[in-house]
């Protein structure tokens, strides 16, 4: 079984004014916080070891977890002094992970009906270093994969930036869905320090290690990073 890392440290700028007084992790959908939705889903799939990183209104998340008595061991990775982005967050939380289990890394503002058992079994069967959930949707930033679903690059269509890590005759763009499973060994392969995003690290590692996609339907997923997405999330969970 996998363990989990919920990324809950973000400022939630796109969710203002809700996040003027609370962290985005505690923004509610159908009367239940994003954090609680995601912790309960992980527990329902048998995940009992969960790490949560905190920064913005960190004390409110810590208090929430202390008061909820979740049926899981939940550890706090404290980023109160500095927001570390996903890559730095993984390094900072390293000592909370069990290195005998893969890690499902989940953005707190993502809600989905993705079957984590199917996702995990796909990851294990393929023996990937990392498996990234993606869907075919319109966005400004795309991950690029070859016909075998191997990560080959990244593209920002607004700035025309493009990074190609593996040459392929055909590159297929997908939107990243904010959920991934990694082998814990990946953490020790990262050479960066401090605060940094994880996608550039995946691109570097993809030249030597298997990093592939897990494609899901767009209609079972919602990014609750903006206020206007809350209504869509409510419908998803009905």
CA 142 to chain centre: 15
What torsion, rounded to 10 degrees, do the Cα atoms 89, 91, 94, 95 define?
-100
Instruction: Provide the pLDDT for residue 166.
Output: 84
Instruction: Provide the pLDDT for residue 167.
Output: 82
Exposure string of 193-219, with b = 16+ CB inside 10 Å and e = fewer, is eebbebbebbbbbbeebebbbbbbeee
Instruction: Provide the pLDDT for residue 169.
Output: 80
In the block, tokens 């991934």 appear at 180
Any idea where the domains of the chain sit in the sequence?
A: 3-236
Q: In angstroms, rounded to a whole number, what is the distance separating the alpha carbons of residues 16 and 183?
A: 35
Those residues with Cβ within 8 angstroms of residue 17's Cβ, 6 or more apart along the chain or in another chain: none
pLDDT tens, the chain, 238 aa long: 899 999 999 999 999 999 999 999 999 999 999 999 999 999 999 999 999 999 999 999 999 999 999 999 999 999 999 999 999 999 999 999 999 999 999 999 999 999 999 999 999 999 999 999 999 999 999 999 999 999 999 999 999 999 999 888 899 999 999 999 999 999 999 999 999 999 999 999 999 999 999 999 988 999 999 999 999 999 999 8
The yes or no reply on domain 3-236 and CATH 2.60.40.420 is: no
Answer whether 231's CB lies under 8 Å from 215's CB: no
Answer whether 93's CB lies under 8 Å from 51's CB: yes
Q: What is the DSSP string of 175-194?
A: EEEEEEEE-THHHHH----S
172-182 and 130-135 strand pairing: antiparallel
């Amino acid at each position: 079984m996998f363990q989990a890392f919920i990324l809950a440290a973000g400022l939630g700028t796109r969710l203002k004014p809700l996040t003027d007084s609370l962290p985005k992790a505690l923004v509610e959908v159908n009367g239940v916080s994003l954090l609680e939705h995601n912790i309960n889903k992980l527990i329902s799939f048998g995940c009992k070891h969960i790490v949560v990183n905190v920064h913005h209104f960190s004390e409110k998340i810590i208090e929430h977890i202390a008061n909820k008595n979740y049926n899981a061991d939940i550890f706090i990775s404290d980023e109160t002094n500095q927001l570390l982005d996903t890559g730095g967050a993984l390094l900072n939380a390293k000592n909370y992970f069990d290195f005998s289990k893969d890690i499902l890394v989940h953005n707190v503002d993502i809600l989905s009906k993705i079957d984590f058992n199917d996702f995990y079994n796909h990851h294990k069967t393929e023996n990937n270093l990392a498996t990234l959930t993606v869907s075919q949707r319109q966005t400004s930033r795309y991950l690029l994969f070859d016909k075998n679903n191997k990560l080959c690059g990244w593209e920002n269509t607004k700035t025309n930036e493009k990074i190609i890590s593996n040459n392929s005759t055909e590159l297929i763009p997908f939107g990243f869905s904010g959920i991934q499973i990694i082998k814990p060994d990946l953490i020790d392969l990262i050479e960066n320090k401090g605060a940094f995003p994880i996608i550039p690290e995946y691109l570097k590692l993809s030249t030597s290690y298997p990093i592939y996609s897990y494609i899901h339907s767009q209609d079972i997923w919602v990014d609750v990073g903006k206020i206007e997405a809350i209504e869509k999330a409510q419908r998803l969970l009905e």
